[in-house]
Structure 1
């Protein structure tokens, strides 16, 4: 089983996801809404165990 390097650096509502080759993606999270630069998806956390994700 290979080992993978992953590091997350937080700057307020922005999270930088760092991998072995550098910056792999970034995420903006404001309240219950978030957006990921790699998948280009929006997520909204709903009450309880539910969430909504765009395609």
Structure 2
């Protein structure tokens, strides 16, 4: 397993994700809810270290 470069740039509720190859995806985070453009998954942060995720494949 090698070292992987990842970077995030936050602009208000919009988060831009970058890897060593450049732009990767964008995310929208409002409160505890977030959505990622690459995985098209919804995520809700729950209390503590828990979170709930709904994948695009399961939402249909």
Do they superpose with TM above 0.5? yes
Superposed CA deviations along residues 14-52 of structure 1, whole A, max 9, x for unmatched, are: 111111111111111000110011111001123345432
RMSD: 1.6
TM-score scaled to structure 1, two decimals? 0.80
| d(CA) in 2 for partners of 1:52, 1:30 | 15
TM-score scaled to structure 2, two decimals? 0.74
| d(CA) in 1 for partners of 2:21, 2:48 | 37
Runs of at least 5 residues in structure 2 that lack an aligned partner in the other structure:
56-60
Runs of 4 or more consecutive aligned structure 1 residues displaced over 6 Å after TM superposition: none
Runs of at least 5 residues in structure 1 that lack an aligned partner in the other structure:
none
Partner of 1:26: 26
